């Protein structure tokens, strides 16, 4: 991730997804710290051009991923 490379070069600090931080940590040139503030959890969204037009396998994936989000269908834009 480009932001991690900037941090490695001493530009400053970065807020990045955990996976990016763990990959950058392997370089040995940066340190990571988890964020625990209320604003830190990520909100992930499913995206499609039109959910109704997805092929069956993709609709099945959407259904499985959104089954724990009861308002997902109501909030689809």
Residues 49 and 33 in one domain: no
Given pLDDT bands bounded at 50, 70 and 90, which one contains residue 39?
A: confident
Range of the domain at 64: 43-77
Same domain, 20 and 51: no
Mean of the per-residue pLDDT values of the chain: 83
* Predicted confidence (pLDDT) at residue 71 exceeds the cutoff of 80: no
Total number of domains constituting the chain: 2
Q: Are residues 10 and 31 in the same domain?
A: yes
DSSP state of 63: H
Q: Are residues 5 and 32 in the same domain?
A: yes
Q: How buried is 19 (Cβ within 10 angstroms: 0-12 exposed, 13-18 middle, 19+ buried)?
A: exposed
pLDDT at residue 67, as a whole number: 80
Predicted TM-score (pTM) of the model is 0.56
Of 1, 41, 44, residue with least CA distance to 20:
1
56 and 73 share one domain: yes
H or E segment and range at residue 24: helix 18-25
């Amino acid at each position: 991730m480009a932001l991690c490379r900037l941090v490695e070069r001493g530009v400053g600090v970065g807020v990045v997804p955990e996976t990016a931080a763990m990959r950058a940590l392997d370089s040995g040139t940066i340190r990571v710290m988890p964020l625990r503030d209320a604003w830190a959890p990520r909100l992930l969204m499913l995206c499609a051009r039109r959910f109704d037009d997805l092929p069956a396998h993709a609709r099945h994936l959407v259904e499985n991923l959104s089954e724990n989000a009861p308002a997902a269908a109501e909030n689809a834009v």
